[in-house]
Amino acid sequence: MADEFEKEKSLSRRSFLKMSGVATGSLVAGTYLGSLIPTDEPKESKESEAPSENEGGEQASAQPTEDYTRAYKYFMNADHFKTIEAAAERIFPEDDLGPGALALGVGWFIDHELASGYGDNKREYMKGPFKEGTPYQGPQYPLLRRDLYDEGIRVMNEISQKDHDALFHELEAEQQDEILTKLESDELELRGAKASDFFEELRLATLSGVYADPLYRGNKDMQGWEMKKFPGAYMSYINEVEQDGAVELEPTPLSSHAESSE
Amino acid sequence: MAKRLDKTDVVVVGLGWAGSIVAAELSKIGHNVVGLERGKEKKTEDYLTAHDEYRYVIGHEMMQDLSRETLTYRNSTDEEALPMRRYGAFLIGTDVGGGGVHWNGDTWRYHPYDFEIKSQTDEKYGADKISDEYTIQDWGITYEELVPYFSKYEKNSGVSGEQNPLGPEREESYPTPPLKETPVLTEYKEACERLGYHPFMVPASTISQQYVNPDGQTINACQYCGFCEKFGCEWGAKASPIVTTIPTAKETGNFELRTGANVVEIVKEDGKVTGVLYVDLLTQEEVMQPADVVVVTSHTTNNTKLLLHSKLGTPYDPESREGSVGKNYCLHITPSATGFFDKEYNTVTGAGALGIVIDDFNNDNFDHTDLDFIHGASIALKQTGKRPIEQNTVPPGVKNWGAEFKKESIKAFTQSLTSHAQMITLPHRYNYLSLDPTYKDDYGRPLLRVTYDLTEHDRAAHEFIGGKIEGIMEEMGATQVVRSELPDHFDIYPAHNDHIVGGTIMGADPETSVVNNYLQMWDEDNVFVIGGSNFPHNGGYNPTGTVGALAYRAAEGIDMYLEDNRQLASAGEVAGAN
């Protein structure tokens, strides 16, 4: 199976290289290119293979255990980081389908994103004056996402300490859900934005961390994709598009297409 | 003081479909054209690693940087408009090729009824059918007159398709045959047939087989990878400016493409437009590019903004109903219905314009005598390829997070299908564009202000069309069908539809339109404005095919203008006006 996977990777990489030629006009393309796409996909053998969760597990165990990217880029405080991890896990929990946000690395995804353009709303209009507006005018709060997350984390732990004498990440799942529900329904107050603004950001970031390409540090071993039967970065489905029913292929990450001189 | 460059024959502002078509057509016949694009140059190779939903969809990689420039929004004139701080309802493309690169590729001709909507509606249903608060008007051109230009655009793009059984008979078949009819599409088609409708394949610029266009540019065969809308095509298999018109223009040797050039004003000196002023985004220098003809081909919103900043034409006033710049701004309302099924579907493969569509409830194909709306919608099921961050549909009653959400959203990824309609959206007196009094862009100029709300007409049409879509999804075998609902007021934040039109509309009367039917300004003979901004209303199809046709016609008009420097149409005498 691993061999098949490698074969798929190299084939798709090869068709890419060919395509660069097409784009500069040095090759005849189209149907010719289509013929380069592997036609004998391991579809038939797919049925007899182990369930997808186990596949992910096998892959994970084959990889080095040390991951040097698992360090804070934005967060400074472990309790803050764990607050986000725990909240994300409640939004997308582990169950019999597979891992939840925690095991998928969503905390690391969010940490990384907060340290980048997402964190300081780089491509959004952030000039004043800031006014609340009607419910139909979209988000108008002045906080950058970093500040919104810091504020949300502060409020979550404040209520958690008050009601349960513990930090948010130390609570039982039901207690965490109660606090998240209060955020969602604006029963808690944040400085500068509504609690529901923060909750919605966190919800969307959690889903992004679950399903974005693993290059962003979430979606560990593409298990988010496996659960959803999304095959990832395939460049062609010319052989699958006429198939009836869900397409189940080994997930492919963008890293299988990125070239380097290394 | 701005640096003043040497004069060129034609300067084009924005290099999406409209701008690049004009650039290609005029440079081919020997005119010197300078193309100004605020974004960067992008080519097919740049999209080799574009299968990145987070970067392109969530991160809006190919869209205008809102930190520099956005618009403000309000529902009515008695509200204060506030900035659209992040993307939601619609997207605004940037970079060479613009929206023509990140589009899905549905390539339609607007219907004959669209171009004469006012006179035909009055004639058939009486002048009282639609209240005069709805500012519908004829376009100053007929379908028949546009046919040669539609044909040029389709041939440029190698469009794949088949005759619409209820549409005007085509003068010749599409350049390439339809895309593959997949099992999902067959089921939808058969459901439509059982209901007595007339399904056919969506005309597509994600094309079915390799094609060489009349300019010698090759478009490759679609590989059904499912990454079209909001992405560039790594196969060069989606017709776009970067695989057709831009290379054609470059090959002439008469076209200069200048990127990082953000035009901020059309310059008028001694009573005549003499060129454009732009900011070089790399050096921050202000540069004046003189030209005999200025062609404004940026996004719908930016076309209007540029005219208002430059004080060209007369701004529209909704109270007096005078003026025309900013008038007839329309979104595109898209009713939909999602069916939940017991079985799994092939939902990840597809192409931007792979779909089955019906026209039975579009245009004036059915009688509207007892209905409180006119026109209608094309209704389609498209297999565009689902992606996992965006697609987290759950059945009603399931909240959008937690254990049940996870289970249901994963299930619905393969077990739900959504059918959408591109629906008539009428202009309304109070839906218009103007300059904002408070908020400014990075260059210190006022933002464009959008005043827009849903109209009773569009709600009535949405209700009717929504019911038809629901019926199809039920017939297809869905165990549960959920229809789209319109909010109390239009909301700028949730994703809606990128087809926004109006603001610099075309027509036969200088009092009620900004440009004549060559897209030449009534008030400035050497300024041409082209884009969705020319549409007096949004019809029942995706708009790009009609934008392409208008651009080919404009290119002819510009060439005529360069001959003898005249206004190409006198009021009431425009070709096609009765």
Asked if the model's pLDDT at residue B291 lies above 70, the reply is: yes
Alpha helices in B524-574 (DSSP H): 544-564
Asked if the model's pLDDT at residue A59 lies above 80, the reply is: no
- The whole-angstrom separation of Cα B247 and Cα B241 is 8
Residue B565 burial (CB count, 10 A): 11
Cβ contacts of B564 within 8 Å, gap of 6 or more: none
B9 sits in which H/E element: strand B8-13
Task: Say if B488 falls within a structural domain.
Answer: yes
Closest to B97 measured CA to CA, from B203, B24, B176, B204: B24
Q: Provide the pLDDT for residue A58.
A: 44
Q: Provide the pLDDT for residue B570.
A: 67
Closest to B160 measured CA to CA, from B205, B227, B199, B103: B205
Q: Give how many domains chain B has, as a whole number.
A: 1
One domain for residues A201 and A149: yes
Using 50, 70 and 90 to split pLDDT, how confident is the model at A63? Answer: low
How many angstroms from the chain centroid is the CA of residue A153? 20
Q: What is the 3-state secondary structure (H, E, C) of B120-189?
A: HHHHHHCCCCCCCCCCCCCCCCCHHHHHHHHHHHHHHHCCECCCCCCCCCCCCCCCECCCCCCHHHHHHH
One domain for residues A239 and A212: no
One domain for residues A137 and A192: yes
Span B305-313, mean pLDDT?
A: 98
Q: Provide the pLDDT for residue A67.
A: 84
The three-point CA angle B169-B173-B176 to 5° equals 145
- Percent of chain B at pLDDT exceeding 90: 96
B458 sits in which H/E element: helix B456-475
Task: Say if A68 falls within a structural domain.
Answer: no
Q: Provide the pLDDT for residue A29.
A: 38
Using 50, 70 and 90 to split pLDDT, how confident is the model at A244? Answer: very high
Q: Which chain B residues are closer than 8 Å to A29 by Cβ?
A: 210, 218, 220, 235-236
One domain for residues A45 and A103: no
Q: What are phi and psi of B562, to 5 degrees?
A: -65, -25
Searching chain B, which residue's CA lies closest to the CA of residue A215? B52
Mean residue pLDDT of chain A comes to 83
Task: Say if A55 falls within a structural domain.
Answer: no
Does the distance separating the beta carbons of B221 and A34 come in below 8 Å? yes
Asked if the model's pLDDT at residue A19 lies above 50, the reply is: no
Using 50, 70 and 90 to split pLDDT, how confident is the model at A259? Answer: confident
Beta-sheet strand order (sheet of B71-74): B82-83, B71-74, B446-451, B432-440
Asked if the model's pLDDT at residue B567 lies above 50, the reply is: yes
Q: Provide the pLDDT for residue A14.
A: 42
Q: Is A257 on the interface with B (CB under 8 A)?
A: yes
Q: What is the DSSP code string of chain A?
A: -HHHHHHHHHHHHHHHHHHHHHHTT-S--THHHHHHS-SS-THHHHTTSPPHHHHHHHHHHHS-S--TT-S-SS---HHHHHHHHHHHHHHS--BTTB--HHHHTHHHHHHHHHTSTTTTTTTS---S------TTS-------HHHHHHHHHHHHHHHHHHHHSS-GGGS-HHHHHHHHHHHHTT-SB-SSSBHHHHHHHHHHHHHHHHHS-GGGS-SGGGHHHHHHT--BS-S--TTTTT-SS------B-GGGT-----
Model confidence over B197-219: pLDDT tens digits?
999 999 999 999 999 999 999 99
One domain for residues A184 and A237: no
Task: Say if A72 falls within a structural domain.
Answer: no
Mean residue pLDDT of chain B comes to 96
Model confidence over A208-226: pLDDT tens digits?
999 999 999 999 999 999 9
Could you say which DSSP state residue B220 is in?
Answer: P
CATH number of the structural domain spanning residue B351: 3.50.50.60
Task: Say if B230 falls within a structural domain.
Answer: yes
Closest to A241 measured CA to CA, from B191, B476, B193, B384: B384
Cβ contacts of A32 within 8 Å, gap of 6 or more: B210
Q: Which chain B residues are closer than 8 Å to A247 by Cβ?
A: 346, 348-349
Asked if the model's pLDDT at residue B224 lies above 90, the reply is: yes
Q: Provide the pLDDT for residue A64.
A: 55
Q: Which chain B residues are closer than 8 Å to A229 by Cβ?
A: 348, 413-414
Determine the structural domain holding residue B108 and report its residue range.
Answer: 3-564
One domain for residues A134 and A240: no
One domain for residues A117 and A195: yes
Task: Say if A158 falls within a structural domain.
Answer: yes
Q: Provide the pLDDT for residue A12.
A: 47
Model confidence over B25-83: pLDDT tens digits?
999 999 999 999 999 999 999 999 999 999 999 999 999 999 999 999 999 999 999 99
Model confidence over A137-154: pLDDT tens digits?
999 999 999 999 999 999
pTM comes to: 0.92
Asked if the model's pLDDT at residue B430 lies above 50, the reply is: yes
How far A191 CA sits from the closest chain B CA (Å)? 19
Asked if the model's pLDDT at residue B377 lies above 50, the reply is: yes
Searching chain A, which residue's CA lies closest to the CA of residue B447? A125
Q: Is B111 annotated in the active site?
A: no
Q: Give how many domains chain A has, as a whole number.
A: 2
Q: Provide the pLDDT for residue B73.
A: 97
Using 50, 70 and 90 to split pLDDT, how confident is the model at B495? Answer: confident
- The whole-angstrom separation of Cα B386 and Cα B348 is 5
CA distances from B181 to A75, B21, B88, B167 (A): 50, 31, 32, 20
One domain for residues A86 and A22: no
Q: Which chain B residues are closer than 8 Å to A200 by Cβ?
A: none
Task: Say if B577 falls within a structural domain.
Answer: no
Task: Say if B297 falls within a structural domain.
Answer: yes
Six-digit token pair at B557?
């008009």
Cβ contacts of A116 within 8 Å, gap of 6 or more: A122
Does the distance separating the beta carbons of A236 and B82 come in below 8 Å? no
One domain for residues A104 and A129: yes
Task: Say if B494 falls within a structural domain.
Answer: yes
Q: Provide the pLDDT for residue B89.
A: 87
Task: Say if A186 falls within a structural domain.
Answer: yes
CB pairs under 8 A between A and B: 227
Task: Say if B573 falls within a structural domain.
Answer: no
One domain for residues A196 and A239: no
Asked if the model's pLDDT at residue B410 lies above 90, the reply is: yes
**Which among B49, B67, B491 is the nearest to A122, CB-wise?**
B67
Task: Say if B170 falls within a structural domain.
Answer: yes
- The whole-angstrom separation of Cα A37 and Cα A159 is 56
| Whether the Cβ atoms of residue B330 and residue B538 lie closer than 8 Å to each other | yes
Q: Which chain A residues are closer than 8 Å to B65 by Cβ?
A: 123
| Whether the Cβ atoms of residue B449 and residue B270 lie closer than 8 Å to each other | no
Q: Provide the pLDDT for residue B198.
A: 98
Does the distance separating the beta carbons of B75 and A235 come in below 8 Å? no
How far A68 CA sits from the closest chain B CA (Å)? 23
Model confidence over B157-173: pLDDT tens digits?
999 999 999 999 999 99
Q: Provide the pLDDT for residue B494.
A: 87
How close are the terminal C-alpha atoms of chain B, in Å?
48
Six-digit token pair at A142?
């002045």
How far A161 CA sits from the closest chain B CA (Å)? 23
Searching chain B, which residue's CA lies closest to the CA of residue A203? B401
Does the distance separating the beta carbons of B401 and A90 come in below 8 Å? yes
**Which among A95, A125, A246 is the nearest to B414, CB-wise?**
A246
How far B140 CA sits from the closest chain A CA (Å)? 35
Q: Provide the pLDDT for residue B531.
A: 98
Determine the structural domain holding residue A242 and report its residue range.
Answer: 2-49+233-256
Q: Provide the pLDDT for residue A52.
A: 43
- The whole-angstrom separation of Cα A60 and Cα B463 is 51
Q: Provide the pLDDT for residue B308.
A: 98
One domain for residues A206 and A239: no
Residue B25 burial (CB count, 10 A): 24
- Cis bond before residue B396 (omega within 30° of 0): no
Q: Provide the pLDDT for residue A104.
A: 98
- Reduced to 3 states (helix: H, G, I; strand: E, B; else coil), residue B261 is strand
Buried b (16+ CB within 10 A) or exposed e, A18-39: ebeebbeeeeebbeebbeebbe
Q: Which chain B residues are closer than 8 Å to A241 by Cβ?
A: 180, 182, 224, 346, 349-350, 354, 383
DSSP tally for chain B: helices H, then strands E: 12, 22
One domain for residues A34 and A155: no
Model confidence over A80-108: pLDDT tens digits?
999 999 999 999 999 999 999 999 999 99
Using 50, 70 and 90 to split pLDDT, how confident is the model at B498? Answer: confident
Q: What is the 3-state secondary structure (H, E, C) of B362-423?
A: CCCCCCCCCCCCCCCEEEEEECCCCCCCCCCCCCCCCCCCCHHHHHHHHHHHHHEEEEEEEE
Cβ contacts of B323 within 8 Å, gap of 6 or more: B313, B314, B315, B316, B317
Task: Say if B569 falls within a structural domain.
Answer: no
